[in-house]
Chain A
């Protein structure tokens, strides 16, 4: 149910990205956080191992603020997808981001919901993963069920991850 609510919230967010602040999800330790920071390759920021163009989409990206804070962009607004597709075009650039900062005592992560290049630029919802996926594979309602790699892995190991172990019948 919360996934459904989240999906609806993401759609609403995409439609109204220019008009309202980040959508709250009611997650423990979350707070709406809008800030300006540079888009960075996280491994590069940590170890100085820096391939061109932030790894061309192969590496996790995050935000490095002027105060030195590094935040991982763990999630975008496409269901079950991160924010790398949204942020990669801004590798090394300073942008404004709006979303949810989740400061769980076990780990801090950030959900980027919308971004813009400056205060005079429009907000852009972080839904580029879905758009890029459909450009490669065609129209879908649920990319995660239609994705070729997902299908390959689930076909081999099963829904439960153990060959030959059947999932329970939904009640």
Chain B
């Protein structure tokens, strides 16, 4: 499964210029988009029941991904894109590649379908994986429970 992400990184190496292009505006169902943001656990991030971003929340994001809570990409404007597929891997529940890259900042190319208040994303290609870049633990510790 990890090979999928390695392949995606190879694509990224050849597609760096593309990755820098501005994201296409979210449009009609089935629109092709590029999205850049942090992989988050949708429940904690949306509900605000705890601080839920960056290093401080990484462990909890792993818990929630393993627990089957949907994974989303949250962009800098606060939009959530719920990921339902990555390339040919249509698993979206406790999928090991998802789990391993929780909290990473990624740039992806995919198909956007909007319905009933949700932006669903079917990822075709991961253009970049910058790893965990939001260093929030100094301010927030480890959320929740402090450890």
Determine whether A74 belongs to the interface, using a CB cutoff of 8 Å to chain B.
yes
A103 touches B (CB below 8 Å): yes
CB-contacts of A144-171 with B (<8 A): 144, 147, 149-150, 153-154, 157, 159-162, 165, 167-168, 170-171
Please give me the 4 A-B residue pairs with the lowest Cβ-Cβ distance, nearest first: A108-B117, A81-B67, A161-B58, A82-B68
Known contacts being A154-B62, A161-B55, is A104 close to B92, with CB within 8 Å?
no
Q: Which of chain B's residues 89-113 have a Cβ closer than 8 Å to chain A?
A: 90-96, 99-100, 102-104, 113
Contacts of A82 in B (CB 8 A): 67-70, 93
Query: Could you list 7 further interchain pairs (A-B, Cβ under 8 angstroms) beyond the known A25-B49, A84-B68, A111-B43?
Result: A42-B84, A51-B90, A55-B93, A106-B46, A161-B103, A162-B55, A171-B146
Interface pair B42/A107, CB less than 8 Å apart:
yes
Question: In the complex, are the beta carbons of B49 and A3 less than 8 A apart?
Answer: yes
Does B55 lie within 8 Å of A160, measured CB to CB?
yes
Enumerate chain A interface residues (CB-CB to B < 8 A): 2-3, 6, 25, 27-28, 30, 42-43, 46-47, 49, 51, 55, 57-60, 69-72, 74-75, 78, 80-85, 102-104, 106-109, 111, 129, 144, 147, 149-150, 153-154, 157, 159-162, 165, 167-168, 170-171
Q: Judging by beta carbons under 8 Å apart, are B58 and A160 in contact?
A: yes
Instruction: Decide: B48 and A27 in contact? CB cutoff 8 A.
Output: yes
Q: Identify the interface centre among B46, B55, B72, B132: most chain A CB within 10 Å of its CB.
A: B46
Say if the beta carbon of B5 comes within 8 Å of chain A.
no
How many angstroms from the CA of A85 to the CA of B138 in the assembled complex?
36
Partner of B116, one of A28, A71, A167: A71
18 residue pairs of the A-B complex, CB under 8 angstroms, read A6-B49, A27-B48, A43-B90, A46-B115, A60-B70, A78-B67, A80-B64, A81-B67, A83-B68, A102-B47, A106-B79, A109-B42, A109-B70, A149-B96, A149-B99, A154-B59, A165-B137, A168-B137
Q: Which residue of A lies closest to B84 (CB)?
A: A43
Give residues in B with beta carbon < 8 Å to A. 42-43, 46-50, 55-56, 58-60, 62-64, 66-70, 72, 78-80, 82, 84-85, 90-96, 99-100, 102-104, 113, 115-120, 122, 131-132, 137-138, 141-142, 144-147
